[in-house]
C-alpha cells in the first residue's frame, strides 16, 4: 500500500484537499495520511472548515501556530521533517501557496521524497507577496505539477519546467464547491444576519491581505470606498482576524463602526460563506479563491488588488481588478446595480472532476 501524505495548514488548503481525500479513499492501494500544520489554528479558520467539508480528523497535527513568515516556515519545515522520517511516505501532496505549502515542500525535497503540487503555475508576478514566493519555490521543487488554468501552463513553460512534470487537470476548488452545493443551499445564515427583515440586496466584502490591512493609510482609503459603496447597498463583511487585529492596532474601530449599512460579522464556515456569495449582488475581495468561486457562481467580483494570479477569472470570468481605486469601484458598482456586468464563462476543466484526474495520474506514477 502506497502512503500519500496530504498537507493542510490554512483555509484555502482545507478546501482543496477535501475532494482529494474523498477521491483517494476509493482506492484500496493508497493510504492517505492527513497532516495539519496548525498554521490556521483557531476554530473559525480551521475546525469549522473540517466540519463543513467532511474532512476527517488529521492523522498528525503539528500545532505550529502563528509566527512571522520566515520563523513559521522554519518551524513547520523542522516539525514536518520529523514526520517524514517516521512515516516514510511514498509521496507528499501540497496545495496552493501558503507558508505550509513551501515549508513542507522543502522538507520533502531535502529527504528526496516525491512531491506533488496542486494549483501549480499560478503567478501574480508580484514578489512583494509572500504567496508568490511560496508558489515559485514550491513549483521548482515539485515532481508533479497539477495546473488549474491555462496561464499556469504558459508560466511553467517560460520558467523551464520539464513538460513531463506538468499536468493540466483543472480547478479542485470547484470540486469542493459542486460537491457541497446541497449544504451551501441549506445554510440558514440569512436568518442570523437579516433576522425578520427579509433578505435585502447586499454585497459581500472580504479583506485580509497585508497590502490592504497592515497600514493605517490603506485602511482609511478603504473606509472611504466602503462609505461610497454603502450609499447604494448593504455590505456584509465577515471580518478576518488579521483585519480585526489591525483595525484595533490603528484605533479605527469607531471609524469602521460608523459606516452606514456595513454589517461586520464574525468569520464564517465554508457553507455559510458561500451561501452569502451565491446570492450576493457582487463580491469585493482581495482573496484568490473567491475570485474563482464567484466566477463559477456567476457573481460579479471586484478584486481589490493590482494583480491576480488567476487571470482566467478576469479574461473569462466575472472578475475585474479594481485595486483601491474609488472611481473604478464606483463605475463597476454602477454597472452591477444596473445589471450591465460583463458576460462570463467558466474556464476549461473547472468541471468538478479535477480530484479524479489527479488520483488517476498519481496511481500510475513511478514514485521510486
Q: Would you please indicate which residues are annotated as catalytic (active-site) residues?
A: 208
- Give the whole-angstrom CA distance, residue 234 versus residue 252: 20
Find the largest Cα–Cα distance for the chain. 61
Quote the CA–CA distance of 156 and 172 in Å, as a whole number: 19
Residue 307 to residues 32, 52, 160, Cα–Cα distance (Å): 35, 30, 23
Instruction: Give yes or no for a contact between 55 and 17, defined as CB atoms under 8 angstroms apart.
Output: yes
User: Which alpha helices (H) appear in the chain, and where do they start and end?
Assistant: 11-24, 47-52, 69-87, 99-110, 130-141, 150-158, 172-179, 181-186, 189-194, 210-213, 216-229, 241-249, 253-257, 270-278, 289-297, 312-315, 326-337, 354-364
Long-range pairs for 69-75: beta carbons < 8 A, 24 or more residues apart? 69/99, 69/130, 72/39, 72/99, 72/103, 73/99, 73/102, 73/103, 73/106, 74/103, 75/103
For 155, counting Cβ atoms within 10 Å of its Cβ (0-12 exposed, 13-18 middle, 19+ buried), the class is: buried
DSSP assignment string, 236-264: EEE--HHHHHHHHHTT-HHHHHTSTTEEE
Residue with cell string 517516521: 86
Which single residue is written with the C-alpha cell 473567491? 290
End-to-end CA distance of the chain: 14
Amino acid at each position: 500500500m502506497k502512503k500519500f501524505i496530504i498537507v493542510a495548514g490554512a483555509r484555502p488548503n482545507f478546501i482543496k484537499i477535501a475532494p482529494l481525500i474523498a477521491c483517494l479513499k476509493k482506492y484500496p492501494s493508497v493510504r492517505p495520511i492527513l497532516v495539519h500544520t496548525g498554521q490556521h489554528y483557531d476554530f473559525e479558520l480551521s475546525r469549522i472548515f473540517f466540519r463543513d467539508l467532511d474532512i476527517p480528523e488529521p492523522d498528525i497535527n503539528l500545532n505550529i501556530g502563528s509566527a512571522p513568515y520566515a520563523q513559521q516556515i522554519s518551524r513547520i519545515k523542522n516539525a514536518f521533517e520529523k514526520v517524514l522520517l517516521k512515516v516514510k511516505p511514498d509521496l507528499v501532496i501540497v496545495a496552493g501557496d501558503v507558508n505550509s505549502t513551501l515549508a513542507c515542500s522543502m522538507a520533502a525535497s531535502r529527504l528526496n521524497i516525491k512531491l506533488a503540487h496542486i494549483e501549480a503555475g499560478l503567478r501574480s508576478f508580484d514578489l512583494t507577496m509572500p504567496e508568490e514566493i511560496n508558489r515559485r519555490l514550491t513549483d521548482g521543487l515539485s515532481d508533479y505539477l497539477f495546473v488549474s488554468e491555462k496561464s499556469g501552463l504558459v508560466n511553467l513553460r517560460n520558467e523551464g519546467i520539464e513538460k513531463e512534470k506538468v499536468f493540466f487537470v483543472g480547478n479542485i476548488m470547484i470540486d469542493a464547491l459542486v460537491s457541497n452545493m446541497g449544504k451551501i443551499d441549506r445554510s440558514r445564515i440569512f436568518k442570523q444576519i437579516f433576522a425578520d427583515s427579509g433578505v435585502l440586496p447586499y454585497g459581500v466584502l472580504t479583506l485580509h491581505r497585508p497590502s490592504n490591512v497592515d497600514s493605517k493609510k490603506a485602511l482609511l482609503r478603504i473606509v472611504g470606498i466602503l462609505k461610497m459603496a454603502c450609499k447604494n447597498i448593504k455590505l456584509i463583511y465577515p471580518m478576518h482576524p488579521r483585519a480585526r487585529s489591525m483595525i484595533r492596532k490603528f484605533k479605527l474601530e469607531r471609524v469602521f463602526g460608523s459606516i452606514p449599512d456595513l454589517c461586520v460579522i464574525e468569520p464564517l464556515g465554508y457553507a455559510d460563506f458561500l451561501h452569502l456569495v451565491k446570492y450576493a449582488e457582487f463580491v469585493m475581495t482581495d482573496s484568490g479563491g473567491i475570485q474563482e468561486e464567484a466566477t463559477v457562481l456567476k457573481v460579479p467580483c471586484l478584486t481589490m488588488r493590482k494583480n491576480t494570479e488567476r487571470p482566467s477569472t478576469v479574461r473569462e470570468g466575472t472578475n475585474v481588478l479594481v485595486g483601491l481605486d474609488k472611481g473604478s469601484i464606483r463605475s463597476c458598482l454602477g454597472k452591477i446595480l444596473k445589471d450591465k456586468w460583463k458576460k462570463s464563462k467558466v474556464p476549461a476543466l473547472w468541471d468538478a472532476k479535477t480530484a479524479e484526474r489527479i488520483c488517476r495520474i498519481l496511481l500510475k506514477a513511478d514514485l521510486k
